[in-house]
Structure 1
């Protein structure tokens, strides 16, 4: 594409998109323009058809234009929740592919990886997926490579796991477009203490504690990683202890000391959280959800699910569906 003095960025928003991801992108760009005293960056908010879009916080955004009418973009980022899709997929996906063919770098933040993956533009690429969506994403798009890094810049596909990661991605863009001095000043304006680049892993909560997994002793962190990698085909505590290079008894003591529960209970909760991602963010049948987290039947899954979350998978899915309809003013069927 012809090089311009201003880098033009589009943000394609879908209903329910996380507002923090948009502000985390635009605010550092605005600050960079002000600090450098030039219009180094311009941005436009787009929607599929140019109509207003309501964010997850129920704030309404009026886009600058529709996706089909946008011109002269250097970058386009998709912002959405995990269930978002184009109202007219053939047209929306086709236009994304058209832009990519004509030199626009395409990216996504948070749940935006779902509609981006559905367009086919992530095939053959690795992408960053927020840990709370990973199980649902891998089930929906098993052919796409997923990374736990906060940022993945794979050729002309740029993905960020969440709002803070999007801020980091914009800081990198500011450094490339202007210089590291401006980038550092922007980071300091917003008291952004650490600029993260590729290769930095996401912080994942150690469930039922106030800590994160990277703060745990190495054998415990290794055990959690083994559990996380074996949700569909359950592993025994003895095998996990062997891979963590500790005895089963020592592993049990470490789980009780640092996580307040047994390895078995922790493992079950990991599987329940993975199941919940699919219940909330996919249309997979409950039988398929059960099999994906190591249960032979949906009834067994439902029993453990209710114990963990206080309601069955079908009840939670119905509740979410009804909330979605209320937010969009749609009628709720009466039984």
Structure 2
């Protein structure tokens, strides 16, 4: 018989899901809570699946979830996490955002998971707070919210706001809740149940791909890692490879050789890939016209951007945007979904 937790009140956590939300993030948050209750043989955690208007909501994987409540019917909750695609927004923004504020006045902490930081930021509730943004949405987020304090940590807690970059980080955050509520031994046992090898906390940076199958950005040699960071900071204002090499403290030839060995790409091609990936985020997750997207990633004219985009993705930006919009309309499916 599962018993009520004696020493601490049960934490109630709400998951506010939008059409096309990332299912992996939801299950990564609920499962460790469920396991913790079983291991501790008590009701340490309760959870509710919520949508703006109630009813059934389809995830990005087309799996449909029956929600427990509409947002307007939620009266008391300890935490509320928004899970969505970057393009999601409230149907009735005024009413729903007022309800978020009402819940916060009654003590609820709010958070955004993966693309869920977008509707949370649009509500104004992230103003003045640091926010974790998944790397695959970073360019789109920076374009829409240029004044926001955007971080590449996997978890950012800026009281009383949480932001989480992706499913694995969502699991990590719930493990921290388990540790606070039930102790480190229970949190470790939960992690072992799911063969979750490393419990990451705040201050851990996101892993990003280097376009080389054997490495991620945090595994790069120091000169290459520094060069990658410099290139990433100069998407809107192009920088020459020679200037990057000088800043890193190596010759252009040394940088070229080390970069190609570490990433499988020359610095110039890697740089172009970074800019094209940023362009694709803006194509897929914003309504910006192509001229402004070109300017945002440092292209003075459209033709070279259009040519490089097609070389990278096999379609034009217009074709890419039309395809994703058709998926959204027909299937509520955002791409990609982290």
Match of 1:119 among 120, 123, 146: 123
Answering whether residue 302 of structure 2 is matched by residue 298 of structure 1, we say yes
- 257-266 vs 24-33, greater mean Cα deviation: 257-266
Partner of 1:268: 272
**Quick one: distance in 2 between partners of 1:28 and 1:257?**
40
- TM-superposed CA distance for 1:96, in Å, is 1.2
**Quick one: distance in 1 between partners of 2:145 and 2:56?**
29
Match of 2:148 among 144, 147, 154: 144
Match of 2:94 among 90, 105, 109: 90
Partner of 1:238: 242
Match of 2:105 among 101, 106, 112: 101
**Quick one: distance in 2 between partners of 1:296 and 1:218?**
32
Gaps of 5+ in 1: 330-335
Q: TM-score, normalised by structure 2?
A: 0.94
Match of 2:43, SS state, is: coil
**Cα RMSD (Å):** 1.4
Partner of 2:290: 286
The answer to whether the 8 A contact 1:82-1:114 is kept is yes
Change in 2 beyond 3 A, CA 1:136/1:328: closer
Match of 2:258, SS state, is: helix
Partner of 1:68: 72
- TM-superposed CA distance for 1:298, in Å, is 2.6
Partner of 1:207: 211
Match of 1:20 among 24, 33, 40: 24
Match of 1:31 among 25, 35, 50: 35
The answer to whether the 8 A contact 1:97-1:119 is kept is no
**Quick one: distance in 2 between partners of 1:259 and 1:180?**
38
**Quick one: distance in 2 between partners of 1:173 and 1:258?**
38
**Quick one: distance in 2 between partners of 1:82 and 1:18?**
11
Partner of 2:192: 188
The answer to whether the 8 A contact 1:35-1:182 is kept is yes
Gaps of 5+ in 2: 1-6, 334-338
The answer to whether the 8 A contact 1:14-1:47 is kept is yes
Partner of 2:229: 225
**Quick one: distance in 2 between partners of 1:298 and 1:94?**
42
Partner of 1:317: 321
- TM-superposed CA distance for 1:12, in Å, is 0.1
The answer to whether the 8 A contact 1:47-1:65 is kept is yes
Kindly indicate whether structure 1 or structure 2 has the higher relative contact order, using CA contacts under 8 Å at least 6 residues apart. 2
The answer to whether the 8 A contact 2:60-2:332 is kept is no
Partner of 1:56: 60
Consecutive aligned runs of 4 or more in structure 1 exceeding 3 Å deviation: none
Query: How many residue pairs were aligned?
Result: 327
**Quick one: distance in 2 between partners of 1:86 and 1:27?**
27
**Quick one: distance in 1 between partners of 2:8 and 2:100?**
21
Match of 1:133, SS state, is: helix
